[in-house]
Structure 1
């Protein structure tokens, strides 16, 4: 998932945390574009042929489609060729692992034309997928679903900065969650209270390749040109929050902050000067 993770479980069996990490490792093995045997890599190299995949990969593709529709295409998981061009080829965790694509790979791909029949997926020739941030968010969602279904009274899953919470908080009220200061990454800029749902922070400061970064604008096929450094979104699920966060780098801040509450999100934006901008509904969490 490109980073470290923690799982906190309240109640339930002693084995729940270990089982949660097995689920996380399963998602990584299925969705990583850096692993040659993953479902995502096999799909990216299938050249239009049908590929049988795990049910969790079907969930991933469905979440991708929902995110793209929700954001009007701001979120687009088919921009992997552009991401490689920007410089993001090697895994940050295991730099010896690099993504390669067939010569047919084009950007953007045809997300809506991916055919799913049972557990078989057929992608149009040239279309490739990158689980990226939405994979982290969805994996955290799945961990919380699993823990609550197996006897936990409450759970928090944090994967690479994406946090999803469900059930009873330690204080029986709300989960107190910190937001990292983008300029002093060892410090919390502020904290928020979340009863249930997800909070994710997307940053253009962490995955940089010279002047380029990993947040690709589908309109230009290059890194998004914006003064916004980080976008923090609170939403119902980690997958949804990840998709919504992408819009914060592509839309004008005022437009984004006015729109986000209409689709069930709240946000904090921080620009290059350290100025903070929040949606009108942010105060309910602060």
Structure 2
């Protein structure tokens, strides 16, 4: 068997599958994965008026019935909010209304302040009666799954690959990675961590036998102004970007865990190192000056 490579675009990202199996088996798995990733994108995109997410936002202030998959993601987001002391908040996307990263423009502090009362996922009520799930959001609140949607899709993609009998390979959804299992000889896959200040270089290569790897950083959406970098990762309490780490990469059993842990670490700033070490996960945290800390658990 040799590695089969498949490429498609979804969730505003280049997606790649590197699968070990026979040609027919891999093609069927890749087709199923692409269909599933597009299903999740359509269901939870904030850019589509017909998505489940858009409907929930339009009905803020009313009790909405939700399906089990949406309830799972919302409950996971609530756990992230709790574990991060409110820093990981899927209702903080409303702050983007004042941040113009494309035109490198700082927000008006007073206008930004007016958005803060609309942030606070802890004020959402997740209800369950028998098998029926419901969500009640405060009026004017908006939520999005930008911090967990692609990672969830990577885990779903991996599950489909395994259902098709593929247990070795890598799912890569725009840099959110899930390793299905080691190479046939038992060796790990070497996954590159992008250099946060030189996109054409890898800062490090991490050996991964199985599980998720995700990186959160200040280099995807940002602008520099008067010697300071302003990135898209915003503190939901102040509305202003974090700036302590250039990037944090985390390895975890699932891509969803890796992605949320890396984002929480970025948001925790100075407290991230102690917090990550308490989680007993492997991580690589890089500061803006290029210095770094890492932890490997065997």
Under TM normalisation by the shorter chain, which class is it? 0.7 to 0.9
Structure 1 CA distance for aligned equivalents of residues 142 and 184 of structure 2: 41
Q: Is the Cα–Cα contact under 8 Å of residues 109 and 128 in structure 1 kept in the other structure?
A: no
Distance 1:85 1:183, change over 3 A: same
Structure 2 CA distance for aligned equivalents of residues 277 and 128 of structure 1: 36
Matched with 2:241 is 223
> CA shift at 1:80, angstroms?
1.4
Residue aligned with 1:222, SS: coil
TM-score (norm. length: structure 1) = 0.83
> CA shift at 1:169, angstroms?
2.8
Alignment match of 2:176 (pick from 153, 158, 162): 162
Alignment match of 2:19 (pick from 6, 9, 30): 9
> CA shift at 1:274, angstroms?
1.3
Distance 1:257 1:227, change over 3 A: closer
1:269 is the counterpart of 2:289? no
Alignment match of 1:21 (pick from 34, 38, 41): 34
Count of equivalent residues:
268
Q: Is the Cα–Cα contact under 8 Å of residues 50 and 121 in structure 1 kept in the other structure?
A: yes
Structure 2 CA distance for aligned equivalents of residues 111 and 190 of structure 1: 40
1:93-242 correspondence to structure 2 within 5 Å: 106-110=118-122, 113-116=125-128, 118=132, 120-208=134-222, 211=225, 212-224=230-242, 226-242=243-259
Residue aligned with 1:179, SS: strand
Distance 1:206 1:26, change over 3 A: same
More contact order relative to length (CA 8 Å, sep ≥ 6): 1
TM-score (norm. length: structure 2) = 0.80
Where does structure 1 differ by over 6 angstroms across 4 or more consecutive aligned residues?
none
> CA shift at 1:76, angstroms?
1.2
Per-residue CA distance 1:231-262 (angstroms, 9 max, x = gap): 11111221112221123223344x42232132
1:251 is the counterpart of 2:298? no
Gaps of 5+ in 1: 90-102
Q: Pick the structure with more strand per residue.
A: 2
Q: Is the Cα–Cα contact under 8 Å of residues 234 and 267 in structure 2 kept in the other structure?
A: no
Gaps of 5+ in 2: 1-10, 103-114
